[in-house]
Copies of this chain bind each other. A is one copy, B any other.
Amino acid sequence: MSSLPIPREPLRRVAVTGGTHGNEMSGVCLVQHWLREPGEMQRPSFTAVPVIANPKAVAACRRYVDRDLNRTFINSNLTTTATADDPYEVTRARELNQLLGPKASGKAFDFLLDLHNTTANMGTCLIADSIHNVFVMHLCRHLQLQNPEQRCPVLLYQRPGEESYNVHSVAKNGLGLELGPQPQGVLRGDIFSRMRSLVTSTLDFIELFNQGAAFPAFETEAYRFVGLVDFPRTEDGNLAGTVHPQLQDRDFEPLHPGAPIFQMFSGKDVLYEGETTVYPVFINEAAYYEKGTAFIQAEKLTFSVPAMPALTSSP
């Protein structure tokens, strides 16, 4: 495995973004709270900055205004000249790239934690870009060990070879938290508390690293995107069936060939016709209907993460 470089200096510039999708309320409300009461985010070796990523979408309580901000951080959007016709989220992505990046530059923030909710039964999902990012894999391990009552699966959402496009790609390192199930536009107390605790654990991990802690090697697993499955639809694009009750809420559980995946309105079952077992995730996520996605198919990987040595120059 060819690991990405581990930070050689303490992480000084950390951001926590909420409202990247304006109707995912846990992150919206946590960031709004920390903007008023920032003390909880302070640590001896750094302070994290709370940022509402898409303020117009938050004000409208919608996922986005013109386009999905969390698919917008590609170079062709960030580096082209602004025009009056730019979608709002392209303009906002440039602003965030100035504030927290520029992406892939030495000036970028050291770490960005991006807060999301899903209507799917994803539990506490950690969205990472690469198993080769040793720092992020150790952070995921830390979150799993700190929350033994939850599974905290790691999901590699970005497809291999694809250009990075999400908010946390503007920083040198980043992670997405994806907590569910929670309806869009609803704040549940249980999920709010869980997300708050995960942010605290993330900041504590960065503090540990900055203070010179070393982290041993470990074996772990992650789920990697392999494909999309759309709903059955009528000729005019309307739904012709639902996610099968035997699949609903079974995110990260194995789906074997021949198992039911949809129930048609006619009553007929649609079976999974793949030849290998996959792990469905984002099952019945509200925001993905318009993307033509009933669920995402993932494969399970098992891999080793090398030890992360202590910083030689602790603060």
- Which residues of A approach B to under 8 Å, CB–CB? 29, 32-33, 36-37, 61, 119, 181-190, 192-193, 234, 238-239, 242-245, 248, 263, 265, 284-287, 289-290
Q: How far is the CB of A94 from chain B (nearest CB, A)?
A: 26
State in angstroms the CA–CA spacing of A287 and B244 once bound together.
27
Q: How far is the CB of A83 from chain B (nearest CB, A)?
A: 26
- In contact, B119 and A242 (Cβ under 8 angstroms): no
Could you say which of B185, B192, B285 contacts A242, with CB atoms under 8 Å apart? B192
> Could you name 15 residue pairs across A and B whose Cβ atoms are closer than 8 Å?
A36-B234, A37-B265, A119-B183, A119-B185, A119-B186, A183-B186, A185-B286, A185-B287, A186-B284, A188-B242, A188-B243, A188-B248, A189-B248, A189-B263, A193-B245
- In contact, B238 and A284 (Cβ under 8 angstroms): no
Could you say which of B234, B238, B244, B289 contacts A185, with CB atoms under 8 Å apart? B289
Could you say which of B36, B183, B189 contacts A184, with CB atoms under 8 Å apart? B183
Q: Is the interface of A mostly helix, strand, loop or mixed?
A: loop
State in angstroms the CA–CA spacing of A286 and B187 once bound together.
9
**B-side contacts of A244, CB under 8 Å:** 189
Which residue of chain B has the shortest Cβ distance to A286 in the bound complex?
B185
| With A119-B183, A188-B242 already in contact, 17 other A-B pairs whose C-beta atoms are closer than 8 Å | A29-B242, A29-B265, A37-B265, A119-B185, A119-B186, A183-B184, A183-B286, A184-B184, A184-B286, A185-B287, A186-B286, A187-B284, A188-B248, A189-B242, A189-B243, A189-B245, A192-B242
